[in-house]
């Protein structure tokens, strides 16, 4: 079990498979990209599967989310999913992606055992997409989402970040579109994830702003706290149901008290929080032939020291220096 001093138990593992991405979203990384991890620093497929096996069989993890960077850029992704699907007990498995490569991989990922996908899409306007991501790939994302739906990787969840002066007027349109397409939409407050340190708290679109915009067109009814559990999104029933919309208010309404996540970076470090400034090295233990029990104990000790909160609710919060693309969302 991965328990901390506040009594929280981590059962949800986020695994970053690569720090690389084929988009250059303005709120994530500079146009020229970042200094990528060297290949020897990255975990191998075997090392990833071994750590997930330890997490599932020794530490009580029941859910695994593959992230990046962009996880579809990982050559061995389908094989990793297939091997993890064979674990006993079998974890629920999902993938967070920008959707560009989903059209060609969705069916194979479903056949390998992936349960569902989260796709990032911030706008319905191709020209705004190009401005936000610095790439002209809007149609590829839409095609990828449709392929995921057709393959049965459902519910297809759509993650949208609203940026002032770019897409901050699109919340109602995005929700109407998601309902028509059968996708589950979640808005995420912009977080300090950009390597160029351009995030400003006083300029972000807040959860309150998002809900106010949505209510210009829809009637929203809050779900009960019992429905939310440890999920990061507050969910709202739209026009009496059955459709819902989620809002992840990481900055203005942190949900740290219910956090059930543990994170594994692309180079084999345990992170207790997306915004933690400390990491615990598992790669060294793996490559020194440490037995599973030793690796599991290192992981337990790392999670025992998890802090009470992310610090995002502190106005003086500063983004850690570690590139977020290697950590995963």
* Pairing of the two strands 184-188 and 244-248: parallel
Q: Known binder of ligand: residue 201?
A: no
Per-residue pLDDT tens over the stretch 227-253: 555 577 899 999 999 999 999 887 877
2-326 fold: TIM Barrel (3.20.20)
6 is in an annotated binding site: no
Q: Is 25 labelled a binding residue?
A: yes
191 carries a ligand binding annotation: yes
Largest CA-CA distance found in the chain, in angstroms, rounded: 59
Instruction: Estimate to the nearest angstrom the gap between the alpha carbon of 107 and the chain centroid.
Output: 21
Please tell me whether 157 is known to bind a ligand: yes
Q: How far apart are CA 7 and CA 24, in angstroms?
A: 38
Domain ranges of the chain: 2-326
Task: Tell me the pLDDT band of 190, cut-offs 50, 70 and 90.
Answer: confident
pLDDT tens digits for range 102-160:
999 999 999 999 999 999 999 999 999 999 998 899 999 999 999 999 999 999 999 99
28 assigned binding-site residue: yes
90 is in an annotated binding site: no
Residues with Cβ within 8 Å of residue 195, at least 6 apart in sequence: 28, 29, 30, 34, 323, 324, 325
Was 134 annotated as part of a binding site?
no
57 is in an annotated binding site: no
**Residue 84 known to bind ligand:** no
* Listed range (42-51, 96-105, 217-226, 316-325) with the worst mean pLDDT: 316-325
Annotated binding residue 259? yes
Residue 253 assigned as binding residue: no
pTM listed for this prediction: 0.88
Is residue 263 a known part of a binding site? Answer: yes
């Amino acid at each position: 079990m991965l328990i901390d001093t506040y009594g929280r138990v981590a059962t949800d593992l986020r695994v970053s498979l690569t720090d690389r991405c084929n988009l250059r979203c303005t709120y994530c990384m500079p146009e020229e990209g970042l200094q990528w991890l060297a290949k020897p620093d990255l975990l191998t497929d075997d090392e990833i599967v071994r750590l997930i096996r330890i997490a599932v069989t020794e530490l009580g993890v029941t859910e695994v989310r593959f992230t990046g960077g962009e996880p579809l850029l990982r050559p061995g992704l389908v094989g990793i999913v297939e091997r993890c699907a064979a674990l006993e007990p079998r974890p629920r498995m999902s993938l967070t992606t920008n959707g560009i490569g989903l059209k060609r991989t969705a069916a194979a990922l479903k056949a390998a055992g992936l349960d569902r996908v989260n796709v990032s899409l911030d706008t319905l306007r191709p020209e705004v997409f190009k401005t936000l991501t610095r790439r002209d790939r809007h149609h590829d994302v839409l095609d990828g989402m449709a392929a995921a739906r057709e393959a049965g990787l459902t519910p297809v969840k759509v993650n949208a970040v609203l940026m002032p002066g770019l897409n901050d007027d699109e919340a109602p349109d995005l929700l109407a579109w998601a309902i028509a397409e059968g996708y589950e939409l979640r808005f995420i407050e912009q977080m300090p994830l950009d390597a160029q340190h351009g995030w400003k708290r006083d300029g972000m679109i807040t959860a309150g702003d998002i809900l106010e915009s949505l209510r210009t067109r829809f009637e929203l009814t809050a779900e009960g706290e019992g429905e939310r559990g440890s999920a990061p999104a507050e969910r709202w029933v739209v026009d009496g149901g059955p459709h819902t919309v989620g809002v992840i208010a990481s900055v203005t309404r942190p949900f740290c008290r219910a956090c059930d996540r543990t994170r594994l970076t692309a180079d084999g470090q345990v992170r207790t929080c997306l915004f933690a400034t400390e990491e615990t090295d598992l790669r060294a233990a793996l490559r020194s032939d440490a037995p599973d029990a030793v690796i599991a104990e290192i992981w337990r000790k790392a999670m025992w020291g998890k802090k009470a909160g992310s610090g995002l609710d502190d106005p003086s919060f500063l983004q850690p220096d570690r590139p977020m693309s290697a950590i995963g969302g």
